Amino acid sequence: MVTTSIPTTPFSDQRPGTSGLRKKVTVFQQPRYVENFIQSIFDNVEGAQGSTLVIGGDGRYFNDVVVQTALKMAAAHGFSRVLVGQRGLLSTPAASCVIRKHRAIGGLVLSASHNPGGPDGDFGIKFNMSHGGPAPESFTEAVFKRASAITEYKIVDAPDIDLSRIGPTKVGEMSVEVIDPVADYAELMEQLVDFEKIAGLFRSGFRMRFDALSAITGPYAKAILEGRLGAPAGTVVNGEPKPDFGGHHPDPNPVHAHDLMELMLGPDAPDFGAASDGDGDRNMIVARGLFVTPSDSLAILTSHAHLAPGYAKGLAGVARSMPTSRAADRVAKKLGINCFETPTGWKFFANLLDAGLITLCGEESAGTGSNHIREKDGLWAVLLWLNILAVTKKPADQIVREHWATFGRDYYTRHDYEELETAPANELMDALRKKLPSLPGQRFGNLTVEACDDFAYTDPVDGSVTPKQGIRILFKEDARAVFRLSGTGTSGATLRVYLERFEPNTDRHDLPTSDVLAPVVQAANEIAEIAARTGRNEPSVIT
- CATH code at position 310: 3.40.120.10
pLDDT at 17: 83
Q: Which residue range(s) make up the domain with 348?
A: 185-407
pLDDT-above-90 percentage for the chain:
95
Asked if 81 and 191 sit in the same domain, the reply is no
Asked if 239 and 130 sit in the same domain, the reply is no
pTM of the model: 0.95
**Rounded-to-integer distance, Cα 23 and Cα 108, Å:** 16
Over residues 504-523, mean pLDDT: 97
Out of 121, 152, 180, a domain closes at 180
Over residues 85-108, mean pLDDT: 98
Asked if 145 and 42 sit in the same domain, the reply is yes
> What's the mean per-residue pLDDT of the chain?
96
Residue 488 has pLDDT above 70, yes or no: no
Nearest CA to 245 among 270, 221, 217, 265? 217
The one catalytic residue among 113, 321, 325, 370: 113
pLDDT at 23: 96
Q: Residue 509 is part of a domain; what is its CATH number?
A: 3.30.310.50
Asked if 257 and 358 sit in the same domain, the reply is yes
Asked if 397 and 255 sit in the same domain, the reply is yes
Element (H, E) at 153: strand 152-156
pLDDT band at 541 (very low <50, low <70, confident <90, very high): confident
Query: Residue 24 pairs with which residues in a beta bridge?
Result: 122
Return contacts of 458-465, CB within 8 angstroms, 24+ apart.
Answer: 459/348, 459/351, 460/340, 460/352, 460/355, 460/357, 461/351, 461/352, 461/354, 461/355, 461/357, 462/351
**Rounded-to-integer distance, Cα 539 and Cα 531, Å:** 10
pLDDT band at 347 (very low <50, low <70, confident <90, very high): confident
pLDDT at 489: 53
**Any alpha helices (H) in 320-361, and if so which ranges?**
327-335, 346-354
Q: Domain count for the chain, please give it.
A: 3
Element (H, E) at 386: helix 378-392
175 tagged catalytic: no
Q: For 217, which DSSP code? A: H
Asked if 352 and 487 sit in the same domain, the reply is no
Query: Residue 188 pairs with which residues in a beta bridge?
Result: none
pLDDT at 166: 98
Asked if 161 and 206 sit in the same domain, the reply is no
Over residues 345-353, mean pLDDT: 91
Instruction: Output the CA–CA distances (angstroms, integers) from residue 62 to 75, 83, 91, 112, 334, in the order listed.
Output: 21, 19, 16, 11, 48
Asked if 398 and 436 sit in the same domain, the reply is no
Contact by Cβ (8 Å): 329, 295: no
Asked if 468 and 511 sit in the same domain, the reply is yes
Out of 180, 212, 244, a domain closes at 180
Asked if 399 and 423 sit in the same domain, the reply is no
Out of 180, 206, 230, a domain closes at 180
**Rounded-to-integer distance, Cα 294 and Cα 30, Å:** 37
Contact by Cβ (8 Å): 452, 497: no
Asked if 194 and 322 sit in the same domain, the reply is yes
Asked if 414 and 489 sit in the same domain, the reply is yes
